[in-house]
Amino acid sequence: MTDASSAPAPHRSAAGFDLTPPSEGQRVALEADLNPEEARVLLSHGTEAPFCGVLLGEKRKGVFCCRECGLPLFRAGTKFESGTGWPSFTEPVDPEHVRAIRDTSYGMVRVETVCARCGGHQGHVFPDGPPPTGLRYCINSVALTFVPEGEPLPDPLQRGDGVA
């Protein structure tokens, strides 16, 4: 049996968010809360159809968080119209919040992006975005939850991480 004093200290990003992965029990609960399309994208590295995502036209100030674990991934101010059919961003809230993984599926070489806390598939990042980064984080709407500025962030892991 493990007591709280022997549990590892939380790993916090520079932005102050706890990046400690969910426990097995927390992961089961998070995954049970996903609808079939969210599960297909987040857990099975799927892609939603272009121009169908509910967040494609979202223009309010706020933060886009991981649908699975609630970690803030992208600020609304970094979102741009790429014409690709998926929400696109120039940079994450914090570089530690989005992990890049080499993806060689479908005969292509791409860079997959996943949530650094829960590992949920978000989309891909490409080197063809606008200044200042030159990057285009092409993200599935169903992998995100939008939180308008000033509202509490989703906190399904009860980590008390804050407000958008």
- Residues marked active site are found at 138
What ranges make up the beta strands (E) of 70-127? Answer: 72-75, 79-80, 88-89, 98-103, 110-115, 121-126
Residue pair 138/51 in contact (Cβ under 8 Å)? The answer is no
Instruction: Give the whole-angstrom CA distance, residue 90 versus residue 135.
Output: 5
Beta carbons within 10 angstroms of residue 134's beta carbon = 11
Cβ neighbors of 88 (< 8 A, separation 6 or more) are: 79, 80, 81, 82, 129, 136, 137, 138, 139
